[in-house]
Amino acid sequence: MDKIRVLFVGDIVGAAGRKALKEMLPILKRTKNPELIIVNGENAAGGRGITAAIAKEFYDQGVHGITLGNHTWDNKDIFDFIDKEDRLIRPANYPPGTPGRGFTTVKGANGKELTIVNIQGRTYLPPLDCPFQTIDAILEKQKKKSKCILVDFHAEVTSEKIAMGWHLDGKVSAVLGTHTHVQTRDERILPQGTAYVTDVGMVGARDGVLGMERQAVLQKFKTGLPVRFTADEGKWQFHAAYMELDENTGLATKVELIRQFETEMVWA
């Protein structure tokens, strides 16, 4: 069997998340030897959005593709580079005419290719076009060109993510949830061969609240008043999913979750 080894890294939050990625990638390259590395970078710049410099930093470390989400537009300089960068994708179900692209095909080690698609849920998030209809329209065209397809479903509620997993079972290689920043230990290969995880988890400060400084979040909850959130800079946590895909069928043969804390590092 010809297989593709893929590493997908959950939402990278702020400087702590970027530090964690820098420390963990060399280890995972050595232990898992992924041919393609994809990261969600929508929180990489101080917890909100991404910059061209940070995207370059990820590529320089060996990342092949970057997905985004509801914070795509929070750093306004993204409008200067999103149309030029074909390895960076935002949710595909933004209306026609929105800058950027919702899917792309990236090439990794040994010439292996993977199509990555970014879609966003609609429950408790800004109302975009229907993610189910959007992904169906993409697959109608892309399945003729790509066997291996990974979908980053950036959504709030577990029911919407699980529904998307069943909707796409057997149609794509993997459906990986992002956005809620808490890893769900429900990784599995669905009956028709699609790898599924409700949420891969986040990469960022462990002792904040979803990567943000906790005192500000506590103040928000306790007072209901407007508060400025900033990314926490404490000890990091790292969450990712590793998959092996059958290059001939486009289906998954293995999925496992990775969970590591800075305080528990044991590798030399």
Catalytic residues: 71
Query: What backbone torsions phi and psi does residue 105 show, to the nearest 5 degrees?
Result: -115, 125
Bridge partner residues of 120 (DSSP): 154
Torsion angle in degrees (nearest 10) through CA of 58, 201, 92, 160: 180
Residues 15, 16, 17, CA angle at the centre, nearest 5°?
Answer: 90
48 burial (CB, 10 Å; 0-12 / 13-18 / 19+) is: buried
Q: Are 177 and 184 in contact (CB under 8 A)?
A: yes
How far is CA 9 from each of CA 37, 118, 124, 152, rounded to the nearest angstrom? 8, 14, 24, 11
How far apart, in whole angstroms, are the C-alpha atoms of residue 85 and residue 18? Answer: 20
- How far apart CA 67 and CA 75 sit, in angstroms, is 15
- Quick one: tokens of 96? 């026609």
Instruction: Report the DSSP beta bridge partners of residue 119.
Output: 153
User: How far out from the chain centre does Cα 226 lie?
Assistant: 28
Write out the two tokens for 71.
């914070």
Provide the 10 A C-beta neighbour count for residue 125.
17
